[in-house]
Structure 1
Amino acid sequence: MKPTEASLTNGKTDGTINRHWPHRGGSFEALMTAEPEDAPMAGPRPDEVIARVEAVSICSSDIKVVRMGPNHPLFSGTTEAVDTILGHEVCLRVHAVGANQTERFRPGQRLGLQPAIRMAGKRRIIGMDLPGGFAQYLRLGPEALADYVLDVPEHLSAAAIALLEPYGCAERAWRPNARQEWKAGGTALIVSGPDADFDLAELPDWSAVTVVGEAPAFMNGRPATRADDLAHIDGPFDDILALGDLTVAQLSRLGDMLATGGLLLQGRRSPSPGKVRLDPARVHYDHLSFLGTTERDLSTAFAPSRQRFDVSPGGVALVHGAGGAMGRIHVHRLLQHEDGPETIIASSRKGQRLSDLERDFAPLARSAGRNLVVVGNEGLAQAISEYAPDGLDDVVVVAPDPAAVADAAGWLAPDGLLAVFAGFPYGQRLEIDLAAVALTGLRLTGSTGCSVADMRDVLARVENGTLDLSANIAAVAGLDALPQALKSVADGTVSGKIVIYPQRRDLPLTPAPGWNAAKEAGLTG
């Protein structure tokens, strides 16, 4: 007999079994022949909630975590063995409530989850380095319950609720996701080269300053550590000022010396010295900010005109790597964006994914009065020359390939925006004309994850009818079909999202055109 929603309280176990798929660092190939495990589910501690997983959608990051193992950025720097449950895009139903959480939560309450939380000052992700949703039940601690869950309506399908998180991530890629001001109390590095005649009317309140080269006049005698060159400086620094004609080697070094959340501001007038080598994982994961100006007043780098993060209305945008689920989400967002681009170029390297993009989104483009150009990577340069002869206004790179990011940067218009959405292992290198940030207004941003506010905004668009998430639900499956579903995502044989229903063990991987709440009936409980 199935226990009631309130039966698992006070930390006691009443025989409820949690069927789940553990990930303990094995290979992706090993996962294909593994079996789910069953374990007793203890009730919540006083500050916890136990939630039933109604639905969980597969993210390409799930596959990336398995394939990269301890080399994944989430696990880098730790010696602990990987032992978790993947699955972070979830729709939850409160099952049992700890004694200290009864004022906010109740059995039967429906929740969405933003899985990237802060614990003890560190970023932890439910469904990656913390146990997640490839399971029938999920334990939520006080950190997650305080700031990372949201109430969601009953009339939407659980599949749609699970997709709020990936759509929120796409939303976050086009929002301010890097610092736009000096860091008060932070550490600063100022590097001056030839033609470093720049000024700051008001010196920021830095806690410590290091100067390489001649100290700029705006330091006005302020104490600073002096160094002859960058070779003997380790960093990291919160704010870095690169003034004058710095070389490629110097700019590459400065990119490595930025702290997480760091800001690199270039003051430069001379032509670009060439392409700088940057770590794209740092752009994606570390919230770096790249600003610049050719004007003598360095504060002009912070002008609103240089702070564009969303797409240029009526412009031409490229989704580079649009065939996968997240690329499709970006295409979908741009097509239904009120102030979106006139033309969206969607690229992919796989033929079936190209035809699926055309089939699924061309009607939406026509109804929205937008021009959707679906093209294989081999024809992408020609398409850009035809539809954006002066350069692209915006590019989001969803393909996890530094060369793809470098190509995208080369296709941008002088003041174009490049969003690095794909994740990379730390240590790879992207070659990019970083001086263009100062000289032509290039915007370089990266993002990972989303916020509850991003998810709420997506939910509001779904509820007011301006966004239909079912356009990206391609297939559904029960929990025991998870390996087959993961392989379909990894191989690209299914375009769009695959939604897993953990409460149904026996549901085979099944195409799901026009998926909705009525078709979902009976799968979530």
Structure 2
Amino acid sequence: MTTTAIPQKQYAVQLVGPSQLKLNPDKDVPRPGPHQVLAKIEAVGLCFSDLKLLKQFSEHARKKEVVKGLSEQILNGIPSYVPADKPTVPGHEVVLRIVAVGDNVKHHKVGERCIVQADYRNLRTSGSNAAFGYNFEGGLQEYVLMDERVVVDEDGERFLIPVKDDIGASQVALVEPWACVEDSYVTRERQSILAAGRLLVVADAGHAIEGLRESFSPDGPPASITIVCVEDVQLKAIQDLGLPVEEAIDPVALPDEGFDDIVYFGASKPTLDVLNDKLAAHAIINVVKGGKRIGEPVAVGVGRVHYGPTRWIGTDSTRADDAYRNIPPDGDIRDGDSVLVVGAGGPMGQMHVIRNVCAGRKGVSVTGSDLDAARLAALEAKARPMAAANNVSLRMVNSKEEKLDQAFSYYALMAPVGQLVADAIRDGAEGMIINVFAGIPAPVKHDLDLDTYIAKRAFMFGTSGSTIRDMKIVLEKVESGQLNTNASVDAIAGMSGATDGIAAVENRTMAGKIIVYPQLHDVPLIPLSELGEHFPTVAAKLDDGQWTPAAEAELLRVAKA
């Protein structure tokens, strides 16, 4: 085993049950087995997602046992694998340095500095995937044990992404949450019926089936079609496609989450209520209204738009292919967009505002709305110079005091509230994009005016988490100086302040991110605005109130003394 000097004990924040956090100053530091890597944590960002784990604990989809990807025998030999009701260590926004590796480790070496892609998508749980900081111990401890069979996927790609030594710990630890933001803008959207997928076509009386073949993917047609219709001419139109066809009498009897695409030629709310539940993961439903009106709101699975991720499109015409042409290639803002970030004052909202201000799009305006004047003021102080440098119009609106009177073309929603989607559809401009960034719980449905949604050619989408590719994109921006992730830092802490930091995230008392330095045992939670009262020499190295690598280095020097 290759190693450096390692202590026997460490400080760690452990989640031992629902809403049961404890600071353990005497947790064992494990020694790596043959396939394992031990790393020292430099910094951890606290995340709102940590609260979901805190509340749900063993019921969280990523705290469940791994059911696919590694054998039970291998998993049981990993001390940091802690599924179900076993105590875990939260914290997935980390930068670490490898200090020991087992004899059979091939892809990692002592001394490497890395950030972690927390979603182990190759390891499936019953409802999601395994994750660092969930069913595998995370970063709110001084040392973490990782297994190479977990953190290297089947293609040999590493979940531990190397980073340079000359970048501040907080800057690179925050690549992960910024990557989640980036993912929501760069994820590619499917713009046709899935090749080799399962297609359901439902046609009401009097609706011709048109534009279906033209909606097929360039990669090929669906594998099969299930048809529910009442007219022979509709059935013949499907049979003429030359694909395997199965007739069904009533969509109610069809399996839930059973179809990759649903094309509905009709405008009936009861039918749409049924079809909502037939969408599989990553499915698209296309409502081809044929000039008819639904006439009342439809209960749409807005939670699954985020977590599914499912998509809703439609057209007032008679042709299915008209609707697919309205799907954007990705979720990015466009030249000339008027962007509204709802809930802009929170940590993730700040990132969306800063990201869009710095996106390099022409003619863009960005508005941030929030109910908290202090949080808006903090955001404006950070974002205003960036907006000026990028020639972007920036506006802050306290929605408690001022009514938004503009039809925006891009909405980024930071609060998990279905009504915000409904409001965007009602108020937005034609061709609007609605980014359902906040994690509305997957089972939640909300009444939406699909007539207006379709007439305005709107598109709503959501994403959850990030990929290795997303993190590399953001890391490149950080390393090149294009993106300063420290702009989102609002407070720092050592281990004694970590649980207070999680409480601050829950109570939304901090406008930005909280960075924890596990090697500092006795530093409490300190907002940057109060840093001078605790560490004057550290406060002196802030840049106009913002956290800097120089301030971080000074904190590590004086707080360890």
TM-score of the pair, normalised by structure 2: 0.83
Larger displacement relative to structure 2 (367-376 or 216-225): 216-225
* 1:375 to partner: Cα distance: 1.4
> Residues 243-322 of structure 1 correspond to what in structure 2 (within 5 A)?
243-273=264-294, 274-294=296-316, 297-303=319-325, 306-322=328-344
Contact 1:5–1:94 (Cα < 8 Å) also in 2: no
* 1:205 to partner: Cα distance: 4.0
Larger displacement relative to structure 2 (198-207 or 400-409): 198-207
Distance 1:175 1:43 in 2: 39
The counterpart of 1:343, out of the listed 351, 361, 365, is 365
Larger displacement relative to structure 2 (210-219 or 463-472): 210-219
Q: 1:219 maps to which residue?
A: 239
Q: 1:329 to 1:463 in 2, by over 3 A?
A: same
Contact 2:188–2:330 (Cα < 8 Å) also in 1: no
* 1:293 to partner: Cα distance: 4.0
* 1:415 to partner: Cα distance: 0.9
SS in 1 for 2:377: helix
Q: In structure 2, give the amino acid aligned to 1:16.
A: Q
* 1:437 to partner: Cα distance: 5.7
> Residues 394-409 of structure 1 correspond to what in structure 2 (within 5 A)?
394-409=410-425
The counterpart of 1:196, out of the listed 197, 204, 208, is 208
> Residues 202-213 of structure 1 correspond to what in structure 2 (within 5 A)?
205-213=221-229
Q: 1:432 to 1:304 in 2, by over 3 A?
A: closer
SS in 1 for 2:35: coil
Q: Does 1:329 align with 2:336?
A: no
Q: 2:72 maps to which residue?
A: none
Distance 2:298 2:151 in 1: 39
Contact 1:317–1:341 (Cα < 8 Å) also in 2: no
The counterpart of 1:236, out of the listed 257, 271, 284, is 257
Distance 2:393 2:202 in 1: 45
Q: 1:92 to 1:181 in 2, by over 3 A?
A: farther
Larger displacement relative to structure 2 (434-443 or 306-315): 434-443
Contact 2:225–2:245 (Cα < 8 Å) also in 1: yes
Contact 2:2–2:103 (Cα < 8 Å) also in 1: no
After superposition, give the CA deviation of every residue in 1:211-239 in whole Å (9 maximum; x if it has no partner).
Answer: 11143604326443322222222232333
Q: 1:61 maps to which residue?
A: 49
Contact 1:179–1:262 (Cα < 8 Å) also in 2: no
* 1:163 to partner: Cα distance: 0.6
Larger displacement relative to structure 2 (139-148 or 194-203): 194-203
Root-mean-square deviation (CA), in Å? Answer: 2.7
* 1:263 to partner: Cα distance: 2.0
After superposition, give the CA deviation of every residue in 1:314-368 in whole Å (9 maximum; x if it has no partner).
Answer: 2211111111100110011011110166321111122321222223322332332
> Residues 475-514 of structure 1 correspond to what in structure 2 (within 5 A)?
475-512=491-528, 513-514=545-546
After superposition, give the CA deviation of every residue in 1:241-260 in whole Å (9 maximum; x if it has no partner).
Answer: 33322312222322221111
Larger displacement relative to structure 2 (144-153 or 222-231): 222-231
Q: In structure 2, give the amino acid aligned to 1:494.
A: M
Contact 1:93–1:108 (Cα < 8 Å) also in 2: yes
Q: 1:217 to 1:185 in 2, by over 3 A?
A: same
Larger displacement relative to structure 2 (245-254 or 396-405): 245-254
SS in 2 for 1:363: helix
> Residues 67-466 of structure 1 correspond to what in structure 2 (within 5 A)?
67-70=55-58, 72-74=60-62, 80-81=84-85, 83-102=87-106, 104-122=107-125, 123-141=129-147, 142-145=149-152, 146-193=157-204, 194-201=206-213, 205-214=221-230, 215=235, 217-220=237-240, 222-273=243-294, 274-294=296-316, 297-303=319-325, 306-339=328-361, 342-379=364-401, 382-383=403-404, 385=405, 388=406, 391-435=407-451, 438-466=454-482
Distance 1:511 1:40 in 2: 31
Distance 1:120 1:368 in 2: 42
Q: In structure 2, give the amino acid aligned to 1:291.
A: I
Distance 2:457 2:64 in 1: 34
After superposition, give the CA deviation of every residue in 1:171-196 in whole Å (9 maximum; x if it has no partner).
Answer: 11112354334333332211112423
Contact 1:347–1:377 (Cα < 8 Å) also in 2: yes
What 5-or-longer segments of structure 2 have no aligned partner? Answer: 67-82, 529-544
After superposition, give the CA deviation of every residue in 1:34-73 in whole Å (9 maximum; x if it has no partner).
Answer: 3325322222233221111110000111123213445545
Contact 1:239–1:263 (Cα < 8 Å) also in 2: yes
Distance 1:82 1:180 in 2: 43
Larger displacement relative to structure 2 (14-23 or 52-61): 14-23
Q: 1:82 to 1:264 in 2, by over 3 A?
A: farther
Contact 2:337–2:365 (Cα < 8 Å) also in 1: yes
Distance 1:326 1:492 in 2: 12
The counterpart of 2:34, out of the listed 46, 58, 77, is 46
* 1:468 to partner: Cα distance: 1.5
Q: In structure 1, give the amino acid aligned to 2:200.
A: L
Distance 1:294 1:402 in 2: 24
Q: 1:11 maps to which residue?
A: none
% identical equivalent positions: 28
After superposition, give the CA deviation of every residue in 1:392-418 in whole Å (9 maximum; x if it has no partner).
Answer: 110011112222232223222121000
SS in 1 for 2:280: strand
Q: 1:401 to 1:294 in 2, by over 3 A?
A: closer
Larger displacement relative to structure 2 (76-85 or 65-74): 76-85
* 1:488 to partner: Cα distance: 1.9
Larger displacement relative to structure 2 (313-322 or 249-258): 249-258
SS in 2 for 1:392: coil
Distance 1:426 1:84 in 2: 24
SS in 2 for 1:507: coil
TM-score of the pair, normalised by structure 1: 0.88
Q: 1:378 to 1:340 in 2, by over 3 A?
A: farther
Distance 1:87 1:35 in 2: 14
After superposition, give the CA deviation of every residue in 1:248-277 in whole Å (9 maximum; x if it has no partner).
Answer: 222232222111122222323324413221
Q: 1:502 to 1:84 in 2, by over 3 A?
A: same
Q: 1:483 to 1:363 in 2, by over 3 A?
A: same
* 1:138 to partner: Cα distance: 1.8
Q: 1:206 to 1:425 in 2, by over 3 A?
A: same
